[in-house]
């Protein structure tokens, strides 16, 4: 009996083994040249647009860009040979060919209108296809992420690396001379070092959607710098992997199993089969909510404020900052000048709440709502046309996750607003003289403080601060010690420590963690064997993970606060407030952020980064692979209490 290769034998039938066709040497060489040329062209664009006077001559930069574009076009069209695979290539890289065709159309139109091929057509060609160049570089970075994701790399490490790369690139772009005003950077070497640290601080705050700022975003950064900050906020809000997956879906690429697992870790979604639809839903909801919010905010701004940047840019910037819970504002005093506008409560607050609920909750609420509306429409049309009325779909209960998120969020908003309203009553605060230890202490309250407002206006401010303290970082009242009572500062610290919901743009230990801790304590006090909520049992590993997250968050806040007390000259209340705001990626501040020392700024950078990634994810990413053991130690119960 002749021996058959096991690779060619399946169920007794002989098949031809799959042999991958080797890449053509010319195409391989062209791809490598393209990689070098595109990288050089991107750095050329940075030199051209990032400096007032480019270090290289303009003709050299243009030659590099023209060469990169020529190699890019040649490499793309070489992939259409042989023609039998051209259709698949067009589907796979349709974005590249679309940009090339768009550039050719613009060049042809310029040639037909002006008949100046050397100057005008060449300039328009470069300006048009520079978009293709940057898009190709972005797609190349995405493909690099996918190639790394296909390896045996843990999702936590991959997420840490992605955010770190974006922060470093953002800090580099913000430190360019054209991104900030000339007076900000300074001329001395130590000023440049501080300037770079401040730009990295801003990039970290934007990518980690915190909102703490050393520089004034609206006055110290140029329009280019503000656009860079806005892009970093959007990237940080949606997540690096979500953006990469959306780009991959747009160019017709399917996700592998490992990529789906990485995305599942980012979105906290349990069903791999629905992950692609989940990512599309995230993208659609994000841009739709931001567009509606920008349209509502358009008439709110003062003419003096929007003179630098325009009303449209201000609306888009604050809408994205609100939905991504970033807290960045182009106004030096955040939203304090606009607290009397209805858009602050009718647009900013809903955007913050939607961004802080989490995309799995939004997806479930949307699915249930649209299912009921579809059934009502079908019943109405069936009655009109005399068809059989469809039966009502069986009403299923909401998931435990959604119930915990919605219930906890509502209770925190209402409870926080009521407590803040009582803590800022004029009878307890805003007195010109208070007696403490038989001494008369003078307190000069600011005119914008909550205690000086009427009852209804103070209630609106309390509701807004209760919402923004857990996620966003906007403020309609000053946050310094003279404007907010110690009780209010303590309440705000608790809300910032809790944060928003899982798989959202918020930080903190999350609302579900607080709910699980509460039901675990309640079940223990009632003598139940395990935590229970809404007639559902919660697994003990979930309780253990929540305890680990809470302990790590508390340990990080304590460590950073102790170090800040050593390096900074500020009160303990200010330092604790700043640390919890950074660790919870909130962005509220008592005003000490610009005056932090270099060591203090580095500590806040680490706190913002760790708070965005999550203490547990950061610990898992930095830890070694766990080893399983084949033994258990004897059990013993220590004395508690």
Q: What pLDDT, on the 0 to 100 scale, is given for residue 276?
A: 67
pLDDT: which is higher, 395 or 246: 395
Question: Cα separation of 5 and 180, whole Å?
Answer: 66
- One DSSP character per residue, 367-390 reads HHHHHHHHHHHHHHHHHHHTPPPP
Reported as a pLDDT band with limits 50, 70 and 90, residue 1 is very low
Of 302, 263, 303, 296, the residue nearest 282 (C-alpha)? 263
Q: What pLDDT, on the 0 to 100 scale, is given for residue 445?
A: 52
- One DSSP character per residue, 55-71 reads SS-HHHHHHHHHHHHHH
Mean pLDDT computed over 297-319: 87
Reported as a pLDDT band with limits 50, 70 and 90, residue 438 is very low
453 and 481 Cβ atoms separated by less than 8 Å: no
Tokens of 32: 């490598």
- For residues 337-366, one letter each, b for 16 or more C-beta atoms within 10 angstroms of the residue's C-beta and e for the rest, the string is ebbebebbbebbbbbbbbbbbbbbbbbbee
Q: Which domain holds residue 76?
A: 23-149
Q: What pLDDT, on the 0 to 100 scale, is given for residue 140?
A: 56
Give the highest mean pLDDT range of 87-91, 254-258, 560-564.
560-564
pLDDT tens digits along 66-83? 777 777 777 777 777 776
Phi, psi (5° rounding) for residue 433? Answer: -140, 135
pLDDT: which is higher, 385 or 370: 370
Peptide bond into 373 cis (omega under 30): no
List, in sequence order, every residue forming a beta bridge with 533; answer none if it has no partner: 536
Reported as a pLDDT band with limits 50, 70 and 90, residue 353 is very high
pLDDT at 365 over 60: yes
Helix (H) or strand (E) holding 241: helix 240-250
Label the pairing between strands 13-14 and 532-533: unpaired
Rounded percentage of the chain residues whose pLDDT exceeds 70: 69
Q: What pLDDT, on the 0 to 100 scale, is given for residue 491?
A: 94
* Contact residues for 304 (Cβ-Cβ < 8 A; gap 6+): none
Rounded percentage of the chain residues whose pLDDT exceeds 90: 27
243 and 139 Cβ atoms separated by less than 8 Å: no
Would residue 302 count as lying in a domain? no
pLDDT tens digits along 171-203? 999 998 888 887 666 656 667 888 899 999 999
Mean pLDDT computed over 564-569: 93
* Contact residues for 416 (Cβ-Cβ < 8 A; gap 6+): 462, 465, 466, 469, 470, 491, 495
Question: Cα separation of 443 and 288, whole Å?
Answer: 46
Question: Cα separation of 506 and 468, whole Å?
Answer: 10
pLDDT tens digits along 24-49? 676 677 777 777 776 777 777 777 77
Would residue 179 count as lying in a domain? no
Mean pLDDT computed over 291-306: 89
- In this structure, of 344-353, 432-441, 544-553, 623-632, the range with the lowest mean pLDDT score is 432-441
pLDDT at 127 over 80: no
For 5-27, the three-class secondary structure string (H helix, E strand, C coil) is CHHHEECCEECCCCCCCCCCHHH
Tokens of 485: 């009572």
Q: What pLDDT, on the 0 to 100 scale, is given for residue 497?
A: 94
CA max distance for the chain = 107
* Contact residues for 432 (Cβ-Cβ < 8 A; gap 6+): 442, 443, 444
For 599-629, the three-class secondary structure string (H helix, E strand, C coil) is HHHHHHHHHHHHHHHCHHHHHHHHCCCCCCC
Would residue 68 count as lying in a domain? yes
Mean pLDDT computed over 498-510: 85
pLDDT at 14 over 50: no
pLDDT: which is higher, 67 or 18: 67
Q: How many domains in the chain?
A: 1
Would residue 427 count as lying in a domain? no
77 and 107 Cβ atoms separated by less than 8 Å: no
Question: Cα separation of 477 and 489, whole Å?
Answer: 13
Would residue 513 count as lying in a domain? no
175 and 199 Cβ atoms separated by less than 8 Å: yes
Phi, psi (5° rounding) for residue 383? Answer: -70, -35
Residue reference for tokens 């955010």: 163
Would residue 412 count as lying in a domain? no
pLDDT at 622 over 70: no
Question: Cα separation of 154 and 353, whole Å?
Answer: 31
Would residue 84 count as lying in a domain? yes
Rg (CA), the chain: 28
SS3 content of the chain, % helix, strand, coil (to 5): 65, 5, 30
Mean pLDDT computed over 513-536: 88
Mean pLDDT computed over 469-487: 88
∠ CA 26-29-33, nearest 5°, is: 135
Using DSSP's 3-state secondary structure scheme, residue 86 falls into helix
Q: What pLDDT, on the 0 to 100 scale, is given for residue 13?
A: 41
DSSP state of 533: E
Reported as a pLDDT band with limits 50, 70 and 90, residue 4 is very low
pLDDT: which is higher, 267 or 590: 590
Q: What pLDDT, on the 0 to 100 scale, is given for residue 46?
A: 77
Would residue 95 count as lying in a domain? yes
pLDDT at 250 over 70: no
pLDDT at 391 over 60: yes
Give alpha helix (H) positions in 444-536.
Answer: 455-468, 486-498, 511-525
Q: What pLDDT, on the 0 to 100 scale, is given for residue 383?
A: 64
pLDDT: which is higher, 391 or 582: 582
Q: What pLDDT, on the 0 to 100 scale, is given for residue 278?
A: 72
């Amino acid at each position: 009996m002749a021996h058959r290769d096991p690779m060619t034998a399946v169920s007794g039938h002989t098949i031809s083994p799959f042999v991958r066709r080797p890449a053509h040497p010319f195409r391989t060489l062209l791809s490598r040249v393209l990689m070098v040329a595109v990288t050089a062209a991107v750095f050329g664009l940075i030199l051209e647009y990032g400096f007032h006077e480019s270090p290289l001559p303009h003709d050299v930069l243009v030659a590099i860009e023209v060469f990169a574009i020529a190699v890019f076009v040649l490499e793309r069209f070489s992939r259409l040979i042989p023609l039998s695979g051209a259709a698949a290539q067009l589907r796979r890289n349709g974005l590249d060919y679309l940009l090339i065709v768009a550039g050719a159309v613009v060049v042809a139109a310029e040639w037909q209108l002006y008949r100046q091929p050397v100057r005008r057509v060449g300039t328009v060609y470069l300006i048009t296809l520079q978009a293709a160049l940057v898009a190709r570089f972005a797609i190349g970075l995405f493909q690099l992420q996918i190639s790394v994701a296909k390896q045996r790399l843990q999702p936590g490490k991959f997420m840490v690396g992605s955010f770190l790369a974006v922060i470093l690139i953002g800090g580099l772009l913000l430190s360019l001379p054209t991104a900030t005003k000339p007076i900000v950077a300074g001329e001395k070497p130590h000023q440049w070092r501080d300037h770079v640290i401040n730009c990295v601080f801003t990039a970290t705050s934007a990518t980690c959607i915190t909102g703490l700022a050393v520089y004034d975003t609206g006055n110290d950064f140029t329009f280019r710098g503000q656009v860079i900050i806005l892009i970093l906020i959007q990237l940080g809000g949606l997540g690096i992997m979500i953006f990469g997956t959306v780009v991959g879906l747009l160019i017709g690429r399917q996700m592998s199993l490992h990529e789906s697992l990485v995305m599942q870790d980012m979105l906290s979604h349990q069903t791999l089969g629905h992950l692609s639809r989940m990512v599309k839903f995230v993208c659609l909801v994000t841009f739709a909510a931001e567009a509606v919010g920008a349209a509502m905010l358009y008439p709110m701004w003062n003419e003096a404020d929007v003179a630098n940047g325009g009303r449209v840019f201000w609306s888009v910037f604050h809408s994205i900052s609100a939905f991504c819970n970033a807290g960045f504002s182009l106004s030096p005093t955040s939203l304090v000048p606009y607290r009397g506008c209805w858009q602050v409560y009718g647009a900013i607050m809903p955007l913050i709440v939607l961004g802080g609920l989490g995309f799995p909750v939004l997806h479930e609420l949307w699915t249930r709502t649209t299912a009921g509306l579809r059934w009502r429409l079908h019943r109405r049309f069936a009655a009109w046309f005399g068809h059989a009325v469809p039966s009502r779909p069986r009403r299923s209960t909401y998931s435990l996750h959604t119930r915990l998120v919605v219930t906890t969020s509502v209770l925190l908003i209402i409870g926080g607003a009521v407590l803040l309203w009582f803590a800022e009553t004029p009878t307890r605060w805003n007195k010109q003289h208070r007696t403490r230890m038989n001494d008369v202490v003078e307190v000069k309250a600011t005119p914008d403080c909550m205690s000086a407002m009427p009852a209804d206006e103070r209630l609106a401010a309390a509701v807004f601060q209760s919402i923004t303290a857990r996620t966003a970082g906007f403020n309609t009242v000053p946050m310094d010690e003279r404007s907010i009572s110690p009780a209010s500062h303590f309440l705000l610290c608790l809300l910032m420590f809790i944060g928003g919901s899982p798989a959202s743009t918020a930080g903190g230990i999350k609302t579900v963690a607080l709910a699980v801790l509460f039901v675990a304590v309640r079940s223990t006090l009632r003598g139940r064997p395990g935590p229970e909520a809404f007639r559902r049992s919660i697994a003990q590993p979930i309780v253990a993970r929540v305890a680990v997250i809470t302990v790590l968050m508390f340990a990080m806040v304590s460590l950073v606060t102790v170090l800040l007390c050593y390096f900074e000259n500020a009160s303990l209340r200010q330092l604790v407030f700043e640390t919890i705001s950074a660790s919870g990626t909130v962005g509220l501040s008592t005003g000490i952020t610009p005056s932090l020392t270099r060591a203090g700024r580095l500590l806040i950078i680490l706190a913002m980064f760790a708070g965005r990634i999550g203490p547990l994810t950061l610990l898992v990413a930095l830890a070694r692979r766990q080893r399983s053991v084949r033994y258990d130690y004897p059990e013993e119960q220590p004395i508690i209490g």
